[in-house]
Amino acid sequence: MASSTSTASKAAWRLLSRRATTPRRVVALPDPHRCFSCSVRAHRPEKTETASSRMTHFGFENIPEGEKESRVGAVFSSVASSYDTMNDLMSLGIHRLWKDHFVRSLNPGSCSKTGAAGQNGWNILDIAGGSGDIAFRMLDHATNINHDRATRVTVADINADMLAEGRKRSIDTPYYNTDRLSFMVANAEHMPDVADNSVDLYTVSFGIRNFTDKQAALNEAFRVLKPGGVFACMEFSKVQNPVFNEVYKRWSFSAIPLIGQLVAGDRASYQYLVESIEKFPSQEEFREMIRQAGFVIPGQGYENLSCGIAAIHKGVKPLH
């Protein structure tokens, strides 16, 4: 019995010794600071915002950003043939006086604008100008006041129906079928066909409030303007007098859509246009957006028209 016990003890001792001298297989343990879910997240592509996920306003309605361009386009296609009537309603009939003042303040074709006049005249880009209202006035002023027959205007608009209306109206002007007046379809937020530093004067009249990304349009204006070039915008704004503001709002929201229905058979488009004015930034807020694009702001930066029903904003691209 003792002999068998001794034999078993020796066998057990040999087994333990063999285990002690045999190299152990090393098993790599997971990093205590990483887990499976973290590894999965590390390889998961980040979500990026798209035009279909970002929201913007269409009047008082919040809609996906990707829808705004087509919906605004539908509005202006609807009102293209009654554009003057629309502006008469929105401005109480004085938009023509505002436009005349706007053009006089810019004095196109004058030699006083450094680097803009000369043998080649001014190169003017009129954005959202499909009807031709501002372009015709610019050319008339340059020709009749400053005796400049070289200044030219390119009318750019995203809406083909508005451009068609402008082309039709141009037939009755001296500029029809001349190189002084041209029309192009363009999105003001991205204009690859307009070269850097190529424009002397950039104008936008009663259009920028309808843009999806106003800051992008301002940045693009800065890009295409020459150093020393001028950005000029006339837009419906915030009435300064509280009593008059209340009267104007009542007129806007009650009468304009109704008259739009009676005159143009389109209440919804006129309702949007009224709401778009209400959503547009204040004079001070828009001035800061212009400054943010890189422009130097002359003086106060804006001029109120008719107590602020509309305002003219200007910015100058620095020379250096």
131 is annotated as contributing to ligand binding = yes
Q: What angle do CA 251, 255, 258 make, to 5 degrees?
A: 160
- pTM of the full predicted structure? 0.76
- The answer to whether the annotation marks 146 as part of a ligand binding site is no
Tell me which of 218 and 86 has the higher pLDDT.
218
Which residues does 137 contact at the CB level (< 8 Å), separation at least 6?
Answer: 99, 100, 103
User: How far is the C-alpha of 149 from the C-alpha of 141, rounded, in Å?
Assistant: 10
Query: Regarding predicted confidence, which is higher, 64 or 214?
Result: 214
Is 77 annotated in a binding site? The answer is no
Provide the H-helix boundaries in 196-266.
214-224, 242-250, 256-264
> What pLDDT band is residue 185 in, cutting at 50, 70 and 90?
very high
Establish whether 53 is an annotated binding residue: no
Sign of the Cα torsion 167, 216, 302, 75 reads: positive
Of 69, 312, 50, the residue nearest 188 (C-alpha): 69
Question: Domains plus CATH for the chain?
Answer: 55-316 (3.40.50.150)
pLDDT of residue 274: 86
Q: Is residue 187 annotated as involved in ligand binding? A: yes
pLDDT one-digit tens code per residue, 249-281: 888 888 888 888 887 777 888 888 888 899 899
Selected residue with higher pLDDT from 121 and 27: 121
Question: What is the spatial distance between Cα 22 and Cα 235, in angstroms, rounded to a whole number?
Answer: 87
